[in-house]
Amino acid sequence: MSEANRISVVVVSDKREQLQMAAMIASVGAVSGNEVLVFLSMNALRYFARGADIEAPAEGPVGELMRGKGVPAFKTLFEQAVSLGDAKIHPCSMAMDILGFEREHLEDYVGEAMGLTMFLDQAKGGQVWSF
């Protein structure tokens, strides 16, 4: 795929609105025919632990409203990006080490750990979004 059709998303936030927007970009981008690469790190990674039932805190009123309006959960959107489109989701190897996570600790749709150097190399030339 051409670099023009590559979308890379860095997800480090633990806030509901930012996680939601990152998931929306990944899922819409993937089902629209783009190659999508998601890099999960820092405070975001813990939400992708297998079976994690942690609710991300809202930053403001929109985040509070999303809870009661039937907005698809960000984890569901990330999973759909992988299953319905050309998205790959990778955890940051450094964050995995810090949190003491192994690959089997993460949801099935999350791939193998990746270092920042490899992510930046793969993201080169395309769009890069950060949340």
3-state secondary structure 64-78: HHHHHCCCCCHHHHH
For residue 119, the Cα-to-chain-centroid distance in whole angstroms is 13
pTM (two decimals) = 0.94
Burial 1-34 (b: 16+ CB within 10 A, else e): eeeeebbbbbbbbbbbbbbbbbbbbbbbbbbeeb
DSSP state of 126: S
- Per-residue confidence of the chain (131 residues) as pLDDT tens digits? 466 699 999 999 999 999 999 999 999 999 999 999 999 999 999 999 998 888 999 999 999 999 888 899 999 999 999 999 999 999 999 999 999 999 999 999 999 999 999 999 999 999 999 99
The residue segments making up the domain with residue 67 are 3-130
Q: What is the DSSP string of 18-60?
A: HHHHHHHHHHHHHHTT-EEEEEE-GGGGGGGBTT--PPPPPSS
Residue 73 maps to which CATH number? 3.40.1260.10
State whether the Cα torsion 107-121-16-94 is positive or negative.
positive
Tally of structural domains, the chain:
1
Give CB contacts under 8 A, 24+ apart, made by 70-73.
Answer: 71/20
